[in-house]
C-alpha cells in the first residue's frame, strides 16, 4: 500500500480514534529529497503541518523553534508523537514511513496521538 505524493499542498485530516470530531489542518507535502531536507529549517512557525515522505526520523538542527513530530506507519496510523527542541536528533522509528511536523503543542489539540490515523488530501496542482 505504498503512497506516492508530490511536493505541494493539501490538507491533513486527523481521526483521533472516536474521541471527538476529525480535525482538518493545512498541509505542506515535502516528498522530494530537496523539500524533505529543507523541511522547516529557517522558519519561525508553520501554518498547519508539513508531511515528510518517505521519512522515519528527523532532526531539529538549525531550527528556530520546538516542534511536534508524529511518526506514521504505511497505513497512516500514528505510531508515536514527540515534541523536539531545536538542536536534537530524533531516533529512527523502524515502522515509520512518513513524518508529520507542526508547531510544538498543536498535535494534542488535533487529537494526533498514538493509535490515531490520518488522511492526506492533495489539492490540485
> Angle at the Cα of 50 (from 44 to 53), degrees rounded to 5?
135
> What confidence score (pLDDT) does residue 124 get?
66
Q: 80 lies in which domain range?
A: 8-122
Residue 2 in domain:
no
Distance separating alpha carbons of residues 86 and 94, to the nearest angstrom: 23
Residue 3 in domain:
no
This prediction has a pTM of 0.92
> Angle at the Cα of 55 (from 125 to 63), degrees rounded to 5?
90
How many helices (H) and strands (E) would you count in the chain?
2, 7
Check residue 38 and report its DSSP letter. Answer: H
Count of structural domains, the chain: 1
pLDDT digits (tens, 9 = 90+) for 46-71: 899 999 999 999 999 888 899 999 99
Among the residue ranges 1-5, 25-29, 34-38, 68-72, the one predicted with the least confidence is 1-5
Amino acid at each position: 500500500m505504498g503512497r506516492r505524493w508530490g511536493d505541494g499542498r493539501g490538507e491533513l485530516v486527523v481521526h483521533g480514534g472516536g474521541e471527538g470530531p476529525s480535525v482538518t489542518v493545512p498541509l505542506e507535502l515535502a516528498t522530494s529529497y530537496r523539500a524533505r531536507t529543507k523541511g522547516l529549517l529557517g522558519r519561525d512557525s508553520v501554518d498547519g503541518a508539513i508531511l515528510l515522505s518517505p521519512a522515519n526520523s528527523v532532526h531539529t538542527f538549525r531550527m528556530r523553534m520546538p516542534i511536534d513530530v508524529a511518526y506514521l506507519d504505511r497505513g497512516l496510523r500514528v505510531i508515536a508523537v514527540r515534541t523536539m527542541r531545536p538542536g536534537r536528533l530524533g531516533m529512527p522509528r523502524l515502522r515509520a514511513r512518513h513524518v508529520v511536523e507542526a508547531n510544538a503543542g498543536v498535535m494534542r489539540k488535533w487529537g494526533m496521538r498514538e493509535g490515531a490515523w490520518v488522511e492526506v488530501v492533495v489539492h490540485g496542482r
